[in-house]
Amino acid sequence: MGPTETMQAHQTVAPAAVPALATEPADLADAAPPSIDIERGRAELRRWLRRLAKVFDLEAVRREPAEAGDVVRYYEQNHAAYRRYHSSEGAVHMALNPEGRFDAAGFAGPLMRIEARWRSRPAPPEDVLELAFGQGYNLAWLVPRHEYVRFQGIDLTPAHVALARARLAAWTYTTTDSTGPMEAAGETDPIVPGDPPAARVRLVQGDFHHLPQADGCIDCAYCIESMCHALDLPRALGEVSRVLRAGGELILFDGYLPRPLEALQAEEALAVELVARGLAVARLQTVDALLAAARSHGLALAQMQVLDREIMPSLARLEHLTGTVIRWPWFARRALARRPAARSRNVLAGCLMRTTFGMGLLSYREIVLRKESRPTRPDPGIEAIEAIEGRGR
């Protein structure tokens, strides 16, 4: 790989400024102070739960077992709503707005932070993998800016693959893609200066628990708000570790439980579980469990940033939109009954996320994991952590 200056010199668009990144791993005890007073937050939660109980059978929703296909159904059934109410450009993640007011430009916030991470490394990446590329927003933003990088992507949802391919086809080039194993996934074809963006992207429909890439072929993998859908987190992280080169990094943006569910009060636990059900998340992840699973596969914590305040404008916007839906319970019950189930339950998350994140019951983090040169022994504490989380569900 060439020097960092080479990557910067060949970026076709000058990167925008981003907040300074932490250079040392964050202490797990360090977290942003709650933006909502705990007692006021509990009163808000009670009000929201009372309102939602007039529309949904909350305990029934909470007890619903996770099923195969939930994630695909969630994104397919919510596609139109995401485009109409969330991001007309196809972003399916939270905007980062550190200035405290919602701005759609903040949807590029995680990508700007990824770029900043690349610039901070001794050498820029040559091979990058996006896990769960969604509607193609992230690739469409990053690929044209990095003409010396080969990009690959995997996504579980067939509609997302079709949308992303169509987006790349708008660049007038056809992507090298597949609906099965990627035979060329481990190859490192030379990059020709001036290659159009679509010529440097390979997309595949698949599951990140079973990556088709060859061992040690990726410099950087990133996943924005989708590792939360992992049904087997150690397996998913093990697959990422397998395809990363030594020193390669996995960059995650996602929401986590700072504490296990059993450490929360009953109404708090109900609220965060309803958020999970509303987002088709089968099992809430704690930060400790994520890091323990990562260590067991040779992925060490390189950086952790708490971004709760940056997503609050997005959460306030979603709260307003979904709160309007349930303003008149009798009308909401009739209207939501005509919608697909995954779209109806999404209202639960929209109504509860601002308060649960604001109270610190959930936390939005950027976590960077680096593959060590030598594999580490399995972490003996991971089974205990998973057992505790299992009892909390």
Task: State both tokens at 56.
Answer: 């949904």
- Per-residue DSSP letters for 267-297? HHHHHHHHHHHHTT-SSPPBHHHHHHHHHTT
pLDDT of 33 reads 64
Residue of higher predicted confidence among 268 and 193: 268
Q: Could you give the CA distance from residue 339 to residue 73 in angstroms, rounded to a whole number?
A: 13
Residue 195 banded pLDDT, cuts 50, 70, 90: low
pLDDT tens-digit series, residues 46-101: 999 999 999 999 999 999 988 879 999 999 999 999 999 999 999 999 999 999 99
The torsion defined by the Cα of 219, 225, 230 and 234, in degrees rounded to 10, comes to 50
**194, burial (CB in 10 Å: exposed 0-12, middle 13-18, buried 19+):** exposed
**Position 346: which residue type?**
N
pLDDT of 171 reads 63
Q: Could you give the CA distance from residue 245 to residue 140 in angstroms, rounded to a whole number?
A: 25
The alpha carbon of 232 is separated from its chain's Cα centroid by a whole number of angstroms, namely: 16
- Per-residue DSSP letters for 1-48? ---HHHHHHT-SSPPPP-PPPPSSPPPTT--PPPSS-HHHHHHHHHHH
Residue of higher predicted confidence among 35 and 379: 35
Contacts of 363 (CB under 8 A, 6+ apart): 31, 32, 255, 256, 257, 258, 287, 306, 308, 357
Are 130 and 225 within 8 A, CB to CB? no
The DSSP code for 257 is B
pTM for the predicted model, two decimal places: 0.84
The DSSP code for 337 is H
pLDDT of 315 reads 98
pLDDT tens-digit series, residues 369-379: 999 876 555 55
Q: Could you give the CA distance from residue 203 to residue 266 in angstroms, rounded to a whole number?
A: 43
Residues of the chain with pLDDT > 90: what percent?
72
pLDDT of 245 reads 97
Q: Could you give the CA distance from residue 131 to residue 215 in angstroms, rounded to a whole number?
A: 16
Is the model's pLDDT at 255 over the cut of 50? Answer: yes
Average the pLDDT over 5-26 and give the result: 37
pLDDT of 199 reads 72
The torsion defined by the Cα of 157, 283, 310 and 152, in degrees rounded to 10, comes to -30
Mean pLDDT, the chain, whole residue set: 84
pLDDT tens-digit series, residues 123-153: 999 999 999 999 999 999 999 899 889 999 9
Average the pLDDT over 41-46 and give the result: 96
Average the pLDDT over 194-220 and give the result: 89
Sign of CA dihedral 280, 138, 76, 332: positive
pLDDT of 25 reads 40
Contacts of 170 (CB under 8 A, 6+ apart): none
pLDDT tens-digit series, residues 325-368: 999 999 999 999 999 999 999 999 999 999 999 999 999 999 99
Phi, psi of 163 (to 5 degrees): -65, -45
Is the model's pLDDT at 387 over the cut of 60? Answer: no
Residue 198 banded pLDDT, cuts 50, 70, 90: low
